[in-house]
Amino acid sequence: MLRANAKGEASVQAIFITGGASGIGRAIAERFAREGWRVGLADVDAAGLAATAALLPDGAETYVMDVRDRDAWVAALDDFTAKAGRLDVLANNAGIPLGGPLAEAAFDEIDRTVAINLTGVINGARIGHAYLKRTPGACLLNTASASAIYGSAGLAIYSATKFGVRALTEALDGEWAGDGIRVRGLVPAFIDTPLLAHPTAGSNRSIRETVTGAGLELSPVEDVAEAAWRAVHGDALFEYVGKTAHRLRFAARWMPGR
Ligand code: NAD
């Protein structure tokens, strides 16, 4: 898919995706690459980045970086936009789960979760803005969660970070309208990705076992990639993906001992 860039030259559209080594980020990369987009992938997982790039017909530029590292953001976006000539979509997707009762959570884990899930997304928005502004019709796409809609018992910090991502999305869509940048959010609930292999806090079971054991259905990762495509091309501020979002209200029942 080609269209004119800021200088009126035809060039290939470009997407930069954090958390591109796995799960939802990888699926978004495959979806956009299928349409001929140029892909930049960022993640802390070098092997996963290479594996995603190998799945794409034209490969990808890969950046081993941590979304908490602001200098790394600048270096990666400088390099990617120098190569691609534009930045149509910045997918702020990297995130980690933190479950369990807040009263028992380690402070370093709380700080790490906020720094990656919320400050990392703010870093991408703050630093990415200048690059997105140069490409007409550009879009910032943030991955929130159904935990951005319901404050889930047992997922208090994760929910707080995702509420923050949702708020940032809505605020910036208004704030950046004058710059010609749209801001969109993904709101997935229980997607079949490696994230679900993380242990459920306070138990030996994985999140996947806890969720499916509670009778909740998982959605395929391709559904989120499709939602990302719709989000970038449509008018909706948020794209919801999942079969069980409304049942998150009852999250308290997954907590061990409740
Ligand atoms: P995943 O674990 O498969 O992928 C997350 C990726 O983020 C990994 O490759 C990981 O290495 C990377 N990452 C972690 N910390 C990073 C950091 N500091 N800097 C750069 N990269 C980092 O998980 P996923 O399910 O694909 O999750 C992607 C996003 O979707 C996350 O924000 C997650 O919170 C959100 N989400 C997932 C689900 C779900 O059910 N899987 C539901 C709602 C929201």
pLDDT tens for residues 45-56?
Answer: 999 999 999 999
Name the DSSP letter for residue 17: E
Q: Does the annotation count 131 as an active-site position?
A: no
**What are 228-250's pLDDT values in tens digits?**
999 999 999 999 998 865 555 44
Q: What is the pLDDT of residues 202-222, one digit of tens each?
A: 678 888 998 888 788 899 999
User: Considering only 51-65, 128-142, 185-199, which range has the smallest mean pLDDT?
Assistant: 185-199
**pLDDT above 90 as % of the chain:** 75
Pocket test for ligand 1, best of 43, 52, 114, 169 (most atoms within 8 A of CB): 43
Report long-range pairs for 161-169 (Cβ below 8 Å, ≥24 apart): 161/95, 161/113, 161/114, 161/117, 161/118, 162/117, 164/117, 164/118, 164/121, 165/92, 165/117, 165/118, 165/121, 166/238, 168/121, 168/122, 168/125, 168/142, 169/140, 169/142, 169/144, 169/237, 169/238
Is the ipTM value over 0.85, yes or no?
yes
Please list every protein residue whose CB sits less than 6 Å from any atom of ligand 1. 18-19, 21-25, 43-45, 48, 66-68, 93-96, 116, 120, 143, 145, 188-191, 193-196
Structure tokens at 239: 């794209």
pLDDT at 54: 98
Which residue minimizes the CA distance to atom 32 of ligand 1? 95
